[in-house]
Structure 1
């Protein structure tokens, strides 16, 4: 049989048998915050360059005068961002026209609590007053970022945002459906586990979210569980 070499390979996608449960978790982690001007934007480091994309876009939209990019490296990011997550985010933002003097880099944080604690310390050292923060993260990290910030930096007003992609577009941007589902499942577990450990404030978890989480774990999506 002849193969048409010009036919594109099918785009990676969520398997049909788990799609409804994945969409349930995807919706849960979106905080649906209305964007408004804040004193500073904070981009949380990860494997997803979309954090830098939305941080750059919102800076140009005038939502904040300062960006802090925060993040070192993790096993999942060192190949893509060998100089560190925050450093690569900064380079992207400068390429897109953000003035270098408007960007602060925090290159040591390896978890969300450190992202926020170290950013807070850096801003204090620069004597930048902060009453409100716009935190940018992966889409499925929004709820955890919000809950963590309210725990470690309770006095600031918090708005959360992500690069506005729907689930299928996000999966295509990452190129690995299983990785996305594993991360969604892991972040869902962390909502309760991290609150129990004192890392974040508690968040309500509806029954349908808990049930979808359980079915996905049972289906083998457990690589990112703690």
Structure 2
């Protein structure tokens, strides 16, 4: 049985795991023109971006992100700034990193990073988005809508669900995020923010279960 000291029951974990698995795109990685590390509360994005750079998958890395309610205290100078410093500390040359410090949402991550790349004289045909594991599908759907001429691949730290929960240290926050991201996957195509993504019936049922159980802090207009 799971330890539910943080209020996460066995049933909640099981439903959240369905949602977690759906968010993963499981793309087979190959060399691309550039990578974009999408800012968030999770420094693992910067860590994995650095690992992928050192493996030779891309020559240029953009870190994108300003602040949000979940990151202002963790990264007071902005997500992208802290990501860049972390990646340099892991051996990525400063000259290989471009900074986009203003984005406040995923759409802005894409459009503003594209502008930063254009200003640097870079027009990529293939882009690797590095994100939190449960943000892969939403970032893919957003980029395909806003940057359709570019081939999009997605990557995240290769962590099992339990390991990710431990790495963040706040199970409720992670489940709230899982639910919020799936809501956006479902609703944003209707608003023109992303391409449509099929959501299997069991995943949609898991989402509704978690909403009923109160994992709603990251919902848009709950």
SS at match of 2:153: strand
SS at match of 1:77: coil
SS at match of 1:160: strand
Aligned to 1:78: 72
Give yes or no for the alignment of 1:63 onto 2:57: yes
From 76, 94, 99, the counterpart of 1:100: 94
Ranges in structure 1 where 5+ consecutive residues have no aligned partner: 1-8
Give the CA deviation at 1:222: 1.0
Q: Which runs of 4+ in 1 moved over 3 A?
A: 9-14
Q: 1:32 to 1:13 in 2, by over 3 A?
A: farther
Give the CA deviation at 1:20: 1.5
Ranges in structure 2 where 5+ consecutive residues have no aligned partner: none
Give the CA deviation at 1:11: 8.9
Contact 1:12/1:175 (<8 A) preserved: no
Task: Measure, in 1, the Cα distance between the counterparts of 2:216 and 2:68.
Answer: 18
Normalised by the length of structure 1, the TM-score is 0.94
Give yes or no for the alignment of 1:53 onto 2:47: yes
Q: Alignment RMSD, CA only?
A: 1.5
Normalised by the length of structure 2, the TM-score is 0.95
Task: Measure, in 2, the Cα distance between the counterparts of 1:95 and 1:13.
Answer: 36
From 119, 126, 150, the counterpart of 1:125: 119
From 132, 147, 169, the counterpart of 1:175: 169
Give yes or no for the alignment of 1:185 onto 2:174: no
Contact 1:69/1:86 (<8 A) preserved: yes
Task: Measure, in 2, the Cα distance between the counterparts of 1:92 and 1:224.
Answer: 27
Give yes or no for the alignment of 1:91 onto 2:85: yes
Q: Deviations over 1:164-217 (max 9, x none)?
A: 111111011110000000000111111121111000000001100110001111
Alignment of 1:124-143 (within 5 A): 124-143=118-137
Alignment of 1:36-47 (within 5 A): 36-47=30-41
Contact 2:35/2:127 (<8 A) preserved: yes
Contact 2:39/2:64 (<8 A) preserved: yes
Task: Measure, in 1, the Cα distance between the counterparts of 2:5 and 2:217.
Answer: 23
Aligned to 1:165: 159
Task: Measure, in 2, the Cα distance between the counterparts of 1:80 and 1:13.
Answer: 23
Q: Deviations over 1:22-76 (max 9, x none)?
A: 1100000000100111000100000000100110000000000000000000111
SS at match of 1:98: coil
Contact 2:7/2:172 (<8 A) preserved: no
Task: Measure, in 1, the Cα distance between the counterparts of 2:149 and 2:41.
Answer: 29
